[in-house]
Amino acid sequence: MGEHRVRVTQDSGSRWRRRAGEYETLAEALAAAEPGDTVTVRPGVFRENVLLDKPVTVLPAEGPGTVRIDPPSGVGLTVTAAATVRDLVIESYDSSAAAVRITGPGADALLTGCRVDTHAAVGVEVSDRAAPRLTGCTVSNPSGLGLRLRGQAQARFTDCEVSAAGQAGLAVLEGARAELDRCRLHHATGAGVLLTDAGSLAELTGCEIYEIRGSGVQAEAKAVGRLTDCEVHRVTGNGLTLDTEAALELRDCRLHDLPENAADLRGRSVLTLERSTVRSFGRGALSVWDPGTRVDATGCEIEDSTGDYPAIWVSDGAKVTLTDCALHDLPDALFVLDRDSQATVTDTSFSRIRSSAVSVSSGATVALERCRVQQAGTGLWFRDHGSGGLLTDCEIAEVATGVIVTKGADPVLRDCVVRASAEAAVYVSAQGRGSFEDCRAVQGKGYGFHIIDGCRTVLTRCRAEQNARAGFEIAEPGPLVEACTSDDVSAGPPVPAAEPVPAQRTAQLTAGAAALVAPPQIAPIPDCRPADETLAELDALIGLATVKQEVRTLIDLISVGRRRRQAGLKAPSLRRHLVFTGSPGTGKTTVARLYGEILAALGVLQRGHLVEVARVDLVGEHIGSTAIRTQAAFDRARGGVLFIDEAYTLAPEDGARDFGREAIDTLVKLMEDHRDEVVVIVAGYTAEMERFLAANPGLSSRFSRTITFPDYTDAELLEIARTQCQEQEYQLSDPAAAALLDHFSTLQRGPTFGNGRTARQVFETMVERHAMRVAHLPDPSTEELQLLVPADLPLPG
């Protein structure tokens, strides 16, 4: 061949060689090149096995795709040095070899824009501690693996693509490590990513795995994978498969369109999910098996099952932890079964569940705290002996049956509420037990607490309100009831009158008398105190004349509106939500509490209780959690007043991306959807509250009026101090009162001035100084133990 096809340009500093040379083959050119030289290749096909064993640069003379390496057999391109390869096409048809092999501890190579189009055992193999970087490369190998790392090799792939593979798209084995940024792996077989062996690690960021005949990611034998902002979809197997102590961590990832399980875990493997979504799966979202196997999910969303299986299946001693998650549009949400299986669920919502939101059986346990179940067939079902757990501060709403306990199951529920159940709020039968403390059954269409078969259920301080059939239906003796109340006080059938007992039968009955249990006694719900009594307490507050007038006017409007409706007349639809503005310590929280009590006394609110929250109670740390927290706070206030202190912090001036806006948007919708159930009062400084009301177009229209709380005058502060003295059995001498009035007049009244809080703090200081003074008296009299004098005032600051 007379044509010179390869040119070597001397880029090194050697002065003992000619500057350049031209050669007919790549082998000749590479043999002549020295470290640092550039090998420029003219267009064509090179049917030779290329070896790069020195740090040179190889590139095509006329751009990408014009130079192809296609040997008759063996490895097309072998790299053992820190060489650079640009824009070449490597083809190989040897089923026993790799098309590209990068190997050896010195192979710190860079491949850019290369295309591996082959039918080989492996498209690109990295081995024996090599550490290459591949950027913008593509691999197609329908006959074998796409990329394989082994032998403690390390490789970084950026903007690369495995477009077809007869086996796994990426295999990381034998303690190797792979880092992939913005890569795509698709149309592979077996797995998109395969991880195996201790020490093996793959870190994927911004990657997409799809169209896989098998699992999206398969990890086993103690291998570790970390995926961030990745997408796994359209696979024929599981989205993720973990086994034998493997570990996967997913953050901000999306798993969807999966015909099997989104994740299947066995053999003590561990899956960590943060801020990730799982949807459109055919079997389960999380299928977790075996002792030591665990899933920890935080801020995740699981939705839209396409099959008829539980979304989360925990069995054989496995464990699942859910925090700030949302599960919705599912046939069943969470099934926990088998002894030692556990699920711990916090601040999580279950909604639109066709059958059971939570099912516990075969000795498993769950712990739920501050969770909400809405629109489900059954809220929670504890099925059999040994099954149980602890539920705290949870709400179950709009379900067929709220809680079912059967066949010896024994859960504990505290401070939970079941609202608007179609059947029973709580149903216990067939030797089920269960302890219910401070729980409520509200507005159900059936029974509140329905306990049959003589079950030894314990009900303590439970309450039933507005249940269509009865608050408590206890058919036989057995349940232990203490301090429970109902608005219908029904607790079972009446006790028949005693019949005369013949003398000959008396001895027979005496032995069994201890077994007879009297029917439980359910007390009526106590009435709230009259509105006049609460108004009197409002009037007794020191100062606040304009505030009292505003509240009285609003209450008069509400009261007259109720009477007009009772008389068949039209009544104005009043918005009862309020804005309180003013400095700290001016009585806003106290007035909010009294306002709720008055509305309850008038029958406008069901309970009238006050739930006080601030920004930290409403705003979460990641997308989705804020709506859940705001919903939970709103639900706790149902029937009463939700008081949001310093509400302006939800709309900071520089908060374009602040999650507080999400809390405001959620609040606006809840106020509209549940306008008759909760009164919302927002409070804060005057100017800042104007910014808050402007944060959402519909926010200001939800509030009927703004009430301004003025600062206390010096005389009113003195009166607050006098009140403290009376409550604590102290006396304020006339000279001390005069000195105290002068003290209040000298205080700086800036934005942080505490008003009534300041008066109380001054009183506490006087009590401390009084104690220090009187403690040195040999035998103080009763008057000396009570009297506060000018010397007890705080020292000038």
Q: How far apart, in whole angstroms, are the C-alpha atoms of residue 578 and residue 588?
A: 11
What is the H or E stretch that residue 514 is in?
Answer: none
Q: Is the pLDDT of residue 429 over 60?
A: yes
Q: What are the phi and psi torsion angles at 309 (to 5°)?
A: -110, 160
Question: Per-residue confidence at 133, pLDDT binned at 50, 70, 90?
Answer: very high
Q: If you write DSSP's letter for every residue of 175-190 in order, what string do you get?
A: T-EEEEES-EEEEEEE
Range with the poorest average pLDDT among 14-28, 214-228, 229-243, 440-454: 14-28
> Closest Cα to residue 114, out of 96, 132, 93?
132
Decide: pTM greater than 0.85. Answer: no
Q: What is the dihedral of CA 129, 133, 139, 144, to 10 degrees?
A: 10
Query: What is the per-residue pLDDT for 202?
Result: 98
Q: How far apart, in whole angstroms, are the C-alpha atoms of residue 728 and residue 745?
A: 24
Per cent of the chain over pLDDT 90 is: 58
Question: Per-residue confidence at 352, pLDDT binned at 50, 70, 90?
Answer: very high
Q: Is the pLDDT of residue 261 over 70?
A: yes
Judge whether 29 and 51 are in contact, CB under 8 Å: no
Question: What is the distance, to the nearest Å, from the Cα of residue 721 to the centroid of all Cα atoms in its chain?
Answer: 45
Q: Is the pLDDT of residue 63 over 90?
A: yes
Residue 455: exposure state from Cβ atoms within 10 A (0-12, 13-18, ≥19): buried
Q: Is the pLDDT of residue 343 over 70?
A: yes
Query: What is the per-residue pLDDT for 582?
Result: 85
Per cent of the chain over pLDDT 70 is: 91
Q: Is the pLDDT of residue 549 over 90?
A: no
DSSP bridge partners of 272? 249, 296
Query: What is the per-residue pLDDT for 514?
Result: 34
763 token code pair? 């009183």
Range with the poorest average pLDDT among 51-55, 269-273, 724-728: 724-728
The residue with tokens 């990730």 is: 276
Query: What is the per-residue pLDDT for 571?
Result: 66
Q: Give the start-end residues of each E strand in 83-160.
A: 84-86, 89-90, 98-103, 110-112, 115-117, 122-127, 133-135, 138-141, 145-149, 154-158
Q: What are the phi and psi torsion angles at 18 (to 5°)?
A: -65, 160
Q: Is the pLDDT of residue 368 over 60?
A: yes
Question: Per-residue confidence at 113, pLDDT binned at 50, 70, 90?
Answer: very high
Q: Coil, helix or strand for 377? A: strand
Q: Is the pLDDT of residue 503 over 50?
A: no
Q: Is the pLDDT of residue 19 over 80?
A: no
pLDDT tens per residue, range 30-43: 999 999 999 999 99
Query: What is the per-residue pLDDT for 621?
Result: 73
Q: If you write DSSP's letter for every residue of 721-751 in order, what string do you get?
A: HHHHHHHTT-EE-HHHHHHHHHHHHHS---T
Rounded average pLDDT over 388-394:
96
Position 258: which residue type?
L
Q: How far apart, in whole angstroms, are the C-alpha atoms of residue 760 and residue 31?
A: 92
Query: What is the per-residue pLDDT for 727?
Result: 85
Query: What is the per-residue pLDDT for 702?
Result: 81
Q: Coil, helix or strand for 538? A: helix
Q: Is the pLDDT of residue 502 over 50?
A: no
Position 285: which residue type?
A
Q: How far apart, in whole angstroms, are the C-alpha atoms of residue 98 and residue 80?
A: 14
Question: Per-residue confidence at 527, pLDDT binned at 50, 70, 90?
Answer: low
How large is the greatest C-alpha to C-alpha distance in the chain, in angstroms?
133
Secondary structure letter of residue 109 according to DSSP: -
pLDDT tens per residue, range 626-654: 888 899 899 888 888 999 988 888 888 76
Judge whether 197 and 223 are in contact, CB under 8 Å: yes
Judge whether 241 and 264 are in contact, CB under 8 Å: yes
The residue with tokens 């940024």 is: 181
Position 651: which residue type?
A
Range with the poorest average pLDDT among 102-106, 205-209, 232-236, 675-679: 675-679
Query: What is the per-residue pLDDT for 501?
Result: 37
Question: Per-residue confidence at 2, pLDDT binned at 50, 70, 90?
Answer: very low
Query: What is the per-residue pLDDT for 197?
Result: 97
Query: What is the per-residue pLDDT for 655?
Result: 57
> Closest Cα to residue 700, out of 680, 714, 719, 718?
680
Q: Is the pLDDT of residue 444 over 80?
A: yes
Secondary structure letter of residue 173 according to DSSP: -
Q: What is the dihedral of CA 240, 116, 98, 68, to 10 degrees?
A: 180
Query: What is the per-residue pLDDT for 628?
Result: 87
Q: How far apart, in whole angstroms, are the C-alpha atoms of residue 217 and residue 168?
A: 9
Judge whether 626 and 663 are in contact, CB under 8 Å: yes
Long-range contacts of 174-178 (CB under 8 A, 24+ apart): 174/150, 174/199, 174/200, 175/151, 175/199, 175/200, 176/126, 176/127, 176/149, 176/150, 176/151, 176/152, 176/200, 176/201, 177/149, 177/153, 177/201, 177/202, 177/203, 178/147, 178/149, 178/154, 178/202, 178/203
Question: Per-residue confidence at 54, pLDDT binned at 50, 70, 90?
Answer: very high
Question: Per-residue confidence at 600, pLDDT binned at 50, 70, 90?
Answer: confident
Question: Per-residue confidence at 475, pLDDT binned at 50, 70, 90?
Answer: confident
Query: What is the per-residue pLDDT for 533?
Result: 82
Rounded average pLDDT over 12-18:
45
> Closest Cα to residue 584, out of 347, 759, 768, 349?
759
752 token code pair? 């942080």
766 token code pair? 């006087």
Question: Per-residue confidence at 713, pLDDT binned at 50, 70, 90?
Answer: confident
Give me the sign of the Cα torsion angle 630, 636, 637, 638: positive
Query: What is the per-residue pLDDT for 463?
Result: 92
Query: What is the per-residue pLDDT for 625?
Result: 80
Rounded average pLDDT over 678-686:
88
- The mean pLDDT value of the chain amounts to 88
Q: Is the pLDDT of residue 482 over 70?
A: yes
Rounded average pLDDT over 412-439:
95
Secondary structure letter of residue 286 according to DSSP: E
What is the H or E stretch that residue 360 is in?
Answer: strand 349-361
- CA-derived radius of gyration, the chain: 38
Please list, in sequence order, all residues whose beta carbon lies within 8 angstroms of the beta carbon of residue 620, skipping any fewer than 6 positions away. 299, 324, 626, 628, 629, 659
The residue with tokens 């314990």 is: 458
